[in-house]
Structure 1
Amino acid sequence: MTERLETLKRARQRMIEDRDAFAKILAAPFDRSTAERSRNKFVETQVLIDAIDRAIAGELASGDQQG
C-alpha cells in the first residue's frame, strides 16, 4: 500500500474519532449552545470523512490502473 493511502487511512481514523466525540456531546443532556456547536462540527467532520473516502477510492482506482 502506498504511503499516500496509509496517510489517508490514518486521517480518516482520526476524523472518525473526532466525529464520535461530537456524537457523544449530542447524545448527552441538551445544552443549546454546546449542542449547536457540536452539531455543526459533527456535520463538518462527516463531510471531511466523505471527502477522504473519495480520495481513498481515487488512490485505489489509480493503483488498479497502474498494476
Structure 2
Amino acid sequence: MADKSKAPSDGDKESKTQIRGVFVAVTGPAGGRWRAGRKFTPEPTLIDVSTLTEEEQEAIAKDPELRIARP
C-alpha cells in the first residue's frame, strides 16, 4: 500500500504554482529579436522583472522593436 503521508497536498501544489514578483509581457517582431539573452517573438514572453539586471531591463525598455505590457 502506498504511503499517502508523503504525497503533496493541494495546498503544496498551489504554493509551487503561485506567481510572485512583478511580471511584464514582452513581444517582439515577426522575425524575432534577441535582447538580454532572450528571444522575443510576436508571442508574449512573461518575465519576472526581478530576474533581470538593471542593464537588461534598460536594454529591453529602450529597444524600439519590443513592446512591454503588464499582463
Q: Same fold (TM over 0.5)?
A: no
Q: Select the structure of larger CA radius of gyration.
A: 2
Structure number with the higher helix fraction is 1
Higher relative contact order (CA 8 A, sep 6+): 1
